[in-house]
């Protein structure tokens, strides 16, 4: 593969400063939120218009050179790690909110718009964009669409896919398509649902029509502390069985609490083996009644301390501890792997016990943070990359946890995606015929397989990114600018 | 007419060749009546709930299973299908509901049928059995596979102690607005009062009449049996353009103005023209075969690519 004729063509589109080819300029694009993988692209283009993106994709297709679309680079599965000698199309400058229709409750945005900015733009009308990845202050809608991102409140409102009504996208061969409509209902196959979560393999979203929701009138956030992780897990089962559907149900274990305390001082109850966060939200009367029911469930669940957020600042403090947990773990360990798996809720207790056993067997510390309401686990595997073989052992443990999820009838990812990190596990979750069908779909959308090549599917001999490992926190993470979920 | 009773029979039927039109309960005749040269493939022989796990709020059933059968089973555990599957009392099947992609009034609050499907096992156009999706609430990111032959359905919902009531404020006499509330009983009167205050009036409807009202809506009992019935996705602002259509038609707007159900004495061709002229799409449920989709079509380039993968020999007919 010789990308140089392509770069010559790209120079015809992009002025100096928006076409990066020197190693020093490329360095900051070599990695993403999965910091242990690094690959150098041939060039990075910084697009400012949809037209430039379309032209770039078309040229890549003509030259048969792979490309990776990139927003803020917060992917935790290596989804935006470049392809060696390929092109990175940076979308951070496509930040137009094309249309905001507050009576129809929709926002039409370009892919580089930051998640939280959609809510900020609609806040004056009492509306917001519901999906809330922990990185929402920096992650972009384009990346959210590619990976069908989740967040703590997706328990009640659904993932990104449930909030995208329509898409304008450029397919990997340069064809521009319009999918969906502004209605929540559709006719024919759900093509928007097909595109959302396709991990950049089906092309690049250029304009995304998002559904906005009215901000809940009332929140009631409860923090309960337990002497054992199992008791907290059982409390989740009781909350769900009671018929309540809270906005969020989250659990953090002792190690995760310790990290959060060191980083952002949320002042969680002392001596807790686990804390449970349950947030009710909605109309005031409904929340008041739901709280009566929740109070009984929590009281009977063996919590030794229960706190109720007194005001918005208090609520934000509780959430800050949870949302910063991943990065905070950097205080406990120089390196860590963020795992993302799902198990049926009824197998949560069993799963946690097995993770504990594995942690002891490997003699590797594992902190647990999870979206307990939907069985989505985020074990954080702590290691020191400077020790010989430590990374390999940590990855092996991570693999055992993922296989455990598959064995219990769960999934290899809840919200981070398959990306680079988990492509080897796809055939363990699906049969040969199933993966083959997905591959055919990939080829139908991208005949030359240039869009985000090497992601999601198990690596062939030639197409996998030749990732070199790095250790430690992402520099921005170390500065506290970005955080992971 | 082919009527397989095992997956193997179904695979063989697909591999046999010819053009096929899958059919479940036949409650949406515009979609299940074959046109010339197309063989009906009756899936009612592939019926039954295979697995139900109330604690996980999930079940798995064969595509030919009647929705009403599933509803009865769920009801015995205090659970239900919140998207109000249409035509259930008339015999609609799960497979037909998914293939048509139709949901009832409850989709406004809880999401549509697509949002409740966690995984699908199906026979593709090559006669191969393939699986897509996961089995747990949070999904592996995968294509939402709608063109189903045999499907796995899993439901995620919790039923609160629902004591629903409706409000029917009289506006100018030309339209009636129905608002349904559900939730914890002690909170309902105050919530209903707020809506009444907002609308400036309205009567409560409860009990039998309440249940009848929504059943009537789900089963399109209001639509003339010999008229066409078409689903048209809209937004509240687009309602005005639907109202410019054929004056003698009946219109019901559902899901807070996101769906227009149009029952009309006009021909499918005529409505097709009307919808195209205002930039809307439609799916015909009742009416003659051969006109499943009306109005504009978006995303055809992608739809064609998907079809080529799932059904390269074009075995499955749209009608």
Q: Please give the mean pLDDT across all residues of chain A.
A: 91
- From the list B35, B46, B37, the residue with the least C-alpha distance to B11 is B46
Residue B120: inside a domain, yes or no? yes
Phi (first) and psi of residue A337, to 5 degrees: -105, 130
Contact A57, A174 (CB under 8 A): yes
CB A334, CB A374: distance < 8 Å = no
Q: Is residue B146 part of a domain?
A: yes
Tens digits of per-residue pLDDT, B57-77? 888 889 999 999 999 998 888
> Which of B 128-167 lie inside 8 A of A, CB atoms?
128-132, 134-144, 146-147, 158-161
The yes-or-no verdict on residue A479 having pLDDT over 80 is no
| Residue B159 or A223, more confident | A223
CA nearest to A231, candidates A253, A247, A208, A246: A253
Closest CA to B77 of B168, B157, B140: B157
C-alpha–C-alpha distance, residues A150 and A268, integer Å? 25
pLDDT at A19 over 70: yes
The residues, ordered by sequence, that sit 6+ positions from A24 with a Cβ below 8 Å of its Cβ are none
Note the pLDDT tens digit of each residue in A6-16. Answer: 999 999 999 99
| ipTM confidence score | 0.89
Q: What's the domain range around A301?
A: 218-327
Choose, out of B108, B158, B302, the residue to mutate when testing the contact with A (most A CBs < 10 Å): B302
Q: Do B121 and B142 lie in a common domain?
A: yes
| CA-based radius of gyration for chain A | 22
For A70-125, the pLDDT digits (tens) are 999 999 999 999 999 999 999 999 999 999 999 999 999 999 999 999 999 999 99
d(CA B185, CA B136): 30
With respect to residue A201, please indicate whether it lies within any of the assigned structural domains.
yes
pLDDT value, residue B143: 29
Q: What is the CATH number of the domain that holds A246?
A: 3.30.70.3450
Q: What distance in Å separates the CA atoms of residue A327 and residue A472, rounded to the nearest whole number?
A: 11
CB within 8 Å: A241 and B283? no
Grade residue B155 by pLDDT with cuts at 50, 70 and 90: very low
Q: Record the tokens describing residue B16, joined without a space.
A: 């046999």
Same domain, A229 and A260: yes
Mean pLDDT, residues A204-220: 97
φ and ψ of A105, to 5 deg: 60, 50
What percentage of residues in chain A have a pLDDT greater than 90?
77
Only one residue has tokens 């515009």, namely: B30
Does B221 map to a domain? no
Sheet strand arrangement including A67-70:
A19-20, A43-46, A87-90, A67-70
Q: How confident is the model at residue B134 (pLDDT cuts 50, 70, 90)?
A: low
Q: How many domains does chain B have?
A: 3
Asked if A38 and A84 touch (Cβ cutoff 8 Å), the reply is no
Shared domain check, B149 and B1: yes
Q: Domain end: A327, A350, A372, which one? A: A327
Q: Are A207 and A167 in contact (CB under 8 A)?
A: yes
Q: Which of A163-172, A423-432, A442-451 has the lowest mean pLDDT?
A: A423-432
Does A242 map to a domain? yes
Average pLDDT over residues B168-176: 51
Which residues neighbour A332 within 8 Å (Cβ) at sequence distance 6 or greater? A255, A258, A259, A262, A365, A367, A382
- Alpha carbon of B204: minimum distance to chain A alpha carbons (Å): 18
- The whole-number pLDDT of residue A388 equals 93
CA distance A235 to A240: 9
DSSP B93-135: BHHHHHHHT---TTHHHH--HHHH--EEEEE-TTS-EEEEE-S
Chains A and B: how many Cβ contacts under 8 Å?
199
Report the SS3 class of residue B112.
Answer: coil
- On chain B, the residues whose CB falls within 8 A of the CB of A374 are 136-138
Whether residue A223 is contained in a domain is answered as: yes
Backbone angles phi, psi at A411, to 5 degrees: -135, 155
Residues 6 or more apart from A219 whose CB is under 8 A from it?
A: A247, A279, A280, A281, A287, A309, A315
Pairing of strands B38-42, B19-23: parallel
Share of chain A above pLDDT 70, in %: 94
Q: What is the CA radius of gyration of chain B?
A: 20
Nearest to B218 by CA among B95, B55, B104: B104
Same domain assignment for residues B118 and B18: yes
Q: Which residue has the higher pLDDT, A176 or A458?
A: A176
* Dihedral over Cα of A398, A399, A405, A411: its sign: positive
Q: Is A428 inside any structural domain?
A: no
Whether A484 is in a domain gets the answer no
Q: Which B residues, 169 through 188, put their C-beta within 8 Å of a C-beta on chain A?
A: 183-184, 186-187
Q: How many helices (H) and strands (E) does chain B have?
A: 11, 14
Domain presence at residue B307:
no
CB A254 within 8 A of CB A274: yes
Report the b/e string of B62-76 with b at 16+ CB within 10 A: bbbbbbbbbbebbee
B268 Rama class: left (phi>0) / alpha (psi -120 to 50) / beta: alpha
Read off the DSSP letter of residue B19.
E
Q: Which residues of B touch A346 (CB under 8 A)?
A: 53, 55-56
CATH of the domain at B27: 3.30.465.10
Whether residue B319 is contained in a domain is answered as no
H helix or E strand, kind and range, residue A252: strand A248-253
B158–A243 CB contact, under 8 Å? yes
Who contacts B205 (Cβ-Cβ below 8 Å, separation ≥6)?
A: B165, B166, B167, B168, B213
Contact B235 A344 (CB under 8 A): no
Asked if residue B20 belongs to a domain, the reply is yes
Say yes or no to pLDDT of A166 above 80: yes
CB A131 within 8 A of CB A111: no
The reply to whether B11 and B82 lie within a common domain is yes
Residue B86 pairs in a beta bridge with: none
Dump pLDDT digits (tens) for A248-301.
999 999 999 999 999 999 999 999 999 999 999 999 999 999 999 999 999 999
- At residue A240, the 3 state secondary structure works out as helix
**Residue tagged 């032959």 (tokens):** B149
- Whether residue A41 is contained in a domain is answered as yes
Q: Which two tokens stand for residue B141?
A: 């990111």
- Which residue of chain B is at minimal alpha-carbon distance from A419? B141
Put simply, the answer to whether A345 touches B55 (Cβ < 8 Å) is: yes
Please calculate the CA angle A441-A445-A447 and round it to the nearest 5 degrees: 100
Q: Which residues of A104-129 are buried (b: 16+ CB within 10 A; e: fewer)?
A: bbbbbbbbbbbbbbbbebbeeeebbb
> How is residue B156 written in tokens?
């995620």
CATH value at residue A159 = 3.30.465.10
Judgement on whether residues A248 and A174 belong to the same structural domain of the protein: no
* Rounded-to-integer distance, Cα B317 and Cα A213, Å: 38
The band of B183, judged by pLDDT with boundaries at 50, 70 and 90, is: confident
Shared domain check, B151 and B33: yes
Q: Show the domain range for B169.
A: 165-205
Strand order in the sheet with B228-233: B250-254, B259-264, B228-233, B281-286, B293-295
Contact A288, A244 (CB under 8 A): no
Count of domains forming chain A: 4
**Mutation for testing the B interface, residue in A130, A154, A188 having most B CBs under 10 Å:** A188
Confirm whether A192 is domain-assigned. yes
Question: Which residues of A are less than 8 Å from B101 in CB distance?
Answer: 186-188, 190
Q: A471 with A386: CB under 8 angstroms?
A: yes
Rounded CA-CA distance B28/A314 in Å is: 53
Q: Are residues A393 and A453 in the same domain?
A: no
CA angle at A376 for the pair A418 and A340, rounded to the nearest 5°: 35
3-state secondary structure of A94: coil
> Where residue A376 sits, what CATH number does that domain have?
3.30.70.2740
If asked whether residues A49 and A81 sit together in one domain, one would say yes
Q: Same domain, yes or no, for B7 and B33?
A: yes
Taking only the tens place, the pLDDT of each residue in B243-260 is: 887 677 889 999 999 999
Domain annotation covers residue A434: no
What is the C-alpha separation between B8 and B46, in angstroms, rounded?
11
Task: Please give the Cα distance from A344 to A101 (Å, whole number).
Answer: 39
Measure Cα distances from A332 to A76, A222, A298, A336, B106 in Å: 19, 27, 31, 9, 47
Residues B18 and B148 in one domain: yes
Q: Please check whether residues B79 and B116 belong to one and the same domain.
A: yes
Closest CA to A450 of A18, A69, A24: A69
pLDDT above 70 (res B154): no
H/E element holding A106?
strand A106-109
What residues of chain A lie within 8 A of the CB of B130, using their CB?
A: 431, 433-434, 437
Do residues A220 and A279 touch, judged by C-beta distance below 8 A?
yes
Tell me the shortest Cα–Cα distance from B292 to chain A, in angstroms: 10
Shortest distance, CA A47 to any CA of chain B (angstroms)? 25
Q: Among A469, A295, A315, which residue's Cα sits nearest to residue A395?
A: A469
Tell me what pLDDT residue A401 has: 96
Looking at residue B185, the DSSP 8-state letter turns out to be G
B171 and B257 inside one domain:
no
| Integer Cα distance of A174 and A168 in angstroms | 12
Q: Among the three residues A152, A180, A214, which one is the final residue of a domain in this structure?
A: A214
* Cβ–Cβ gap B258/A185 under 8 Å: yes
| CA dist., res. B194 & res. B210, Å (int) | 19
């Amino acid at each position: 593969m010789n990308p140089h004729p392509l770069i010559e063509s790209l120079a015809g589109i992009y002025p100096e400063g928006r076409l990066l080819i020197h190693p020093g300029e490329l360095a900051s694009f070599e990695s993403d939120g999965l910091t242990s993988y690094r690959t150098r692209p041939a060039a990075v283009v910084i697009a400012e218009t949809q037209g430039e993106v379309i032209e770039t994709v078309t040229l890549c297709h003509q030259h048969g050179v792979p490309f990776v679309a990139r927003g803020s680079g917060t992917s935790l599965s290596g989804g935006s790690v470049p392809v060696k000698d390929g092109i990175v199309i940076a979308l951070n400058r496509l930040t137009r909110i094309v249309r905001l229709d507050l009576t129809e409750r929709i926002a039409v945005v370009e892919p580089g718009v930051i998640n939280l900015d959609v809510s900020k733009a609609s806040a004056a009308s009492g509306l917001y964009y519901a999906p809330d990845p922990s990185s929402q202050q920096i992650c972009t809608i384009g990346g959210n669409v590619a990976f069908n991102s989740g967040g703590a409140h997706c328990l009640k409102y659904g993932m990104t896919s449930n909030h995208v009504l329509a898409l304008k996208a450029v397919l990997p061969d340069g064809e521009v398509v319009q999918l969906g409509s502004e209605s929540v209902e559709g006719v024919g196959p759900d093509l928007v649902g097909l595109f959302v979560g396709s991990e950049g393999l089906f092309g690049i979203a250029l304009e995304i029509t998002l559904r906005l929701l009215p901000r809940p009138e009332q929140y009631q956030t409860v923090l309960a502390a337990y002497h054992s992780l199992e008791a907290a897990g059982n409390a989740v089962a009781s909350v769900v069985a009671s018929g309540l559907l809270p906005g969020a149900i989250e659990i953090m274990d002792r190690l995760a609490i310790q990290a959060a305390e060191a980083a952002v001082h949320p002042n969680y109850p002392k001596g807790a083996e686990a804390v449970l966060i349950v947030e009710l939200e909605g109309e005031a009367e409904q929340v008041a009644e739901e709280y009566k029911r929740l109070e009984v469930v929590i009281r009977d669940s063996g919590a030794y301390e229960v706190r109720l957020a007194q005001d918005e600042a208090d609520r934000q403090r509780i959430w800050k501890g949870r949302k910063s947990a991943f990065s905070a773990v950097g205080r406990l360990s120089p390196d860590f792997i963020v795992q993302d798996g799902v198990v049926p809720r009824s197998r949560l207790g069993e799963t946690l016990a097995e993770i504990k056993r594995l942690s002891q067997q490997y003699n590797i510390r594992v902190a647990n943070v999870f979206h307990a309401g939907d069985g989505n686990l985020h074990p954080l595997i702590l290691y020191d990359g400077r020790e010989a073989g430590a990374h390999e052992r940590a990855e092996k443990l991570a693999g055992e946890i993922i296989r455990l999820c598959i064995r219990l009838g769960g999934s290899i990812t809840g919200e981070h995606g398959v990306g680079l990190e988990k492509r080897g596990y796809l055939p363990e979750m699906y049969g040969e015929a199933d993966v083959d069908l997905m591959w055919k779909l990939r080829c139908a959308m991208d005949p030359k397989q240039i869009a985000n090549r090497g992601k999601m599917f198990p690596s062939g001999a030639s197409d996998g990114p030749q990732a070199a490992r790095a250790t430690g926190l992402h520099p921005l993470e170390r500065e506290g600018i970005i955080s992971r979920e | 007419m082919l009527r397989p009773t095992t997956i193997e029979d179904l695979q063989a039927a697909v591999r046999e060749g010819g053009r096929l039109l899958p059919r479940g309960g036949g409650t949406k005749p515009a979609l299940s009546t074959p046109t010339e040269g197309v063989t009906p493939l009756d899936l009612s022989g592939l019926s039954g709930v295979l697995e139900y796990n109330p604690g996980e709020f999930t079940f798995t059933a064969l595509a030919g299973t009647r929705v009403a059968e599933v509803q009865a089973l769920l009801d015995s555990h205090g659970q239900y299908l919140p998207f109000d599957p249409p035509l259930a009392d008339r015999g609609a099947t799960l497979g037909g509901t998914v293939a048509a992609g139709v949901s009832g009034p409850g989709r406004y609050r809880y999401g549509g049928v697509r949002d409740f499907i966690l995984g699908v096992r199906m026979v593709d156009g090559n006669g191969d059995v393939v699986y897509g999706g996961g089995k747990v609430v949070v999904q592996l990111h995968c294509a939402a596979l709608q063109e189903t032959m045999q499907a796995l359905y899993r439901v995620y919902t919790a039923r609160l102690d629902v004591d629903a009531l409706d409000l029917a404020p009289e506006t100018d006499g030309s339209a009636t607005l129905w608002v349904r509330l559900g939730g914890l009983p002690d909170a309902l009167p105050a919530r209903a009062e707020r809506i009444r205050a907002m609308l400036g009036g309205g009567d409560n409807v409860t009990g039998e009449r309440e249940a009848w009202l929504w059943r009537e809506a789900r089963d399109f009992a209001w639509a003339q049996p010999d008229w066409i019935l078409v689903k048209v996705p809209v937004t509240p602002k687009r309602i005005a353009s639907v109202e410019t259509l054929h004056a003698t038609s009946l219109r019901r707007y559902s899901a807070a103005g996101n769906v227009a159900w149009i029952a009309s004495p006009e021909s499918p061709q005529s409505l097709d023209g009307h919808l195209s002229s205002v930039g809307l799409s439609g799916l015909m449920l009742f009416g003659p075969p051969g006109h499943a989709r009306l109005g504009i079509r978006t995303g055809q380039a992608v739809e064609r690519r998907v079809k080529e993968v799932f059904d390269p020999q074009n075995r499955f007919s749209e009608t």
